[in-house]
């Protein structure tokens, strides 16, 4: 029997039988291979995700990989049998931001797979075929399940405009930070510094291409061209800004708690810093992530520490929130 996770309300879930929904016009039916768990899935289960950004009862799961089983009328038949990943944001495609390619800024209201629409913690997922990104035939689908967070970092890498020979840095050593190291390494920087709070992340940082590693309390340089922040605290944002040369480029991806003290506007203006932010991944960032992954320049597998069956959903959520340094990316396998 195939199954799915259903979160009926905060803190209440059940594993139930899964009945695939046949694809309608423009849709695809995907057999889910693996689905990742992130902090926002924990918020859904605990009930502290902001209202409007979740709709119960819900099958979670927005980081996933799979194989297309079938398509509905009007969707490309060539997708059938392909390994794929898929975008989560259900953008409208007709507002001015969508037409500009800024699909994560869609003005038509928020809809996202695994939050307001059924997600991938199930044997199959049915979604608009236009959201799919086909992978190479020899792609490792377990690794590909991490391409959603990778796409968010791809968006940051594109906004950073990092060029060969520049001095670049990453603040934060979680999954997003390790992806940022790999994307920046791919543009051949002169120097690639990682700043974190845990010394045990140094070896992995260097494996992915870092040329230096510092703890946040240590003396830090102030002459880097580009810094990507992935840690999600206000202090990390300030640390990231402090690493930059005058006129340097900063990309913020972390979301601190509400009311956090921000960057000093005087400092930003006087040093003429260029500040970009990323929330989610537009289509071009997904394409970039898939290309870099297909080219072998992105290796998500070392970040996976746990693979569990769907029935272990509550244990998986517990692992993600425990703060245990030995827990990396947790995947569920339908």
Q: pLDDT tens across 34-67, in order?
A: 999 999 999 999 999 998 999 999 999 999 999 9
The phi-psi region of residue 247 (left if phi > 0; otherwise alpha if psi is between -120 and 50; otherwise beta) is left
Token representation of residue 240: 């990231």
The number of beta carbons lying within 10 Å of the beta carbon of residue 211 is 15
Coil/strand/helix, residue 282? coil
The number of beta carbons lying within 10 Å of the beta carbon of residue 261 is 10
DSSP designation for 234: H
Helix (H) or strand (E) holding 209: none
Rounded-to-integer distance, Cα 289 and Cα 89, Å? 16
DSSP designation for 50: P
- pLDDT of res. 323: 83
Average pLDDT over all residues of the chain: 96
Rounded-to-integer distance, Cα 237 and Cα 31, Å? 39
Is residue 1 pLDDT above 80, yes or no? no
- pLDDT of res. 173: 96
- pLDDT of res. 123: 98
Token representation of residue 272: 């003429």
Angle value at C-alpha 191, between 186 and 196, nearest 5 degrees? 90
Distance spanning both ends of the chain, measured CA to CA: 11
Q: What share of the chain is helix, strand, coil (3-state, %, to 5)?
A: 30, 30, 40
The percentage of the chain sitting over the pLDDT mark of 90, rounded to a whole number, equals 95
The number of beta carbons lying within 10 Å of the beta carbon of residue 4 is 25
The percentage of the chain sitting over the pLDDT mark of 70, rounded to a whole number, equals 100
Is residue 176 pLDDT above 80, yes or no? yes
Rounded-to-integer distance, Cα 30 and Cα 80, Å? 9
The number of beta carbons lying within 10 Å of the beta carbon of residue 65 is 27
The strand pair at 63-71 and 27-37 is best described as antiparallel
- pLDDT of res. 227: 98
Rounded-to-integer distance, Cα 239 and Cα 263, Å? 10
Contact 180, 239 (CB under 8 A): no
Nearest to 148 by CA among 280, 44, 251: 280
Confidence of residue 108 (pLDDT cuts 50, 70, 90): very high
The number of beta carbons lying within 10 Å of the beta carbon of residue 273 is 18
- pLDDT of res. 110: 92
- pLDDT of res. 116: 97
Contact 72, 23 (CB under 8 A): yes
- pLDDT of res. 259: 86
- Mean predicted confidence (pLDDT) in 95-115: 95
Is pTM beyond 0.85? Reply is yes
Rounded-to-integer distance, Cα 53 and Cα 305, Å? 28
Backbone angles phi, psi at 55, to 5 degrees: -140, 115
- pLDDT of res. 258: 85
Confidence of residue 257 (pLDDT cuts 50, 70, 90): confident
Q: Is 37 exposed, middle or buried (0-12, 13-18, 19+ CB in 10 A)?
A: buried
- Mean predicted confidence (pLDDT) in 222-233: 97
pLDDT digits (tens, 9 = 90+) for 239-248: 999 999 999 9
- Mean predicted confidence (pLDDT) in 293-299: 97
Is residue 272 pLDDT above 90, yes or no? yes
Contact 35, 329 (CB under 8 A): no
Instruction: Spell out the residues 6+ positions from residue 192 whose beta carbon is closer than 8 angstroms to its own.
Output: 168, 169, 170, 181, 184, 185, 209, 210, 211, 212
Token representation of residue 87: 């975008």
Confidence of residue 141 (pLDDT cuts 50, 70, 90): very high
When comparing pLDDT for 255 and 192, which is higher?
192
């Amino acid at each position: 029997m195939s199954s799915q996770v259903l979160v009926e309300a905060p803190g209440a879930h059940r594993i139930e039988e899964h009945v695939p929904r046949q694809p309608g016009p423009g849709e695809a039916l995907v057999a889910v291979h693996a689905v990742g768990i992130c902090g926002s899935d924990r918020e859904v289960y605990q009930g502290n995700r902001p209202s409007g950004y979740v709709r119960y009862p819900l099958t979670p799961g927005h980081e996933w990989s799979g194989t297309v089983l079938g398509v509905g009328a009007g969707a490309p038949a060539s997708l059938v049998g392909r390994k794929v990943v898929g975008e989560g944001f259900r953008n409208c495609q007709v507002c001015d931001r969508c037409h500009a390619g800024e699909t994560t800024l869609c003005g038509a209201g928020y809809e996202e797979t695994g939050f307001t629409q059924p997600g991938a913690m199930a044997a199959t997922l049915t979604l608009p075929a236009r959201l799919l990104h086909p992978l190479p035939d020899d792609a490792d689908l377990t690794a590909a399940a991490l391409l959603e967070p990778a796409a968010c970092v791809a968006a940051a890498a594109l906004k950073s405009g990092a060029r060969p020979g520049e001095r670049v840095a990453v603040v934060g050593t979680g999954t997003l930070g390790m992806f940022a190291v790999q994307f920046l390494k791919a543009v051949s920087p002169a120097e690639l510094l990682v700043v974190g709070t845990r010394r045990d992340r140094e070896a992995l940082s260097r494996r992915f291409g870092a040329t230096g590693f510092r703890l946040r309390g240590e003396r830090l340089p102030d002459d880097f061209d580009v810094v990507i922040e992935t840690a999600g605290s206000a202090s990390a944002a300030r640390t990231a800004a402090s690493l930059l040369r005058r006129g340097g480029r900063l990309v913020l991806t972390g979301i601190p708690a509400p009311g956090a003290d921000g960057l000093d506007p005087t400092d930003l203006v006087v040093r003429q810093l260029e500040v970009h932010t990323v929330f989610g991944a537009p289509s071009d960032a997904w394409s970039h992530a898939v290309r870099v992954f297909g080219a072998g320049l992105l290796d998500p597998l070392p970040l996976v520490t746990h693979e569990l069956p769907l029935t272990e959903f509550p244990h998986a959520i517990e692992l993600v929130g425990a703060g245990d340094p030995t827990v990396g990316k947790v995947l569920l396998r339908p």
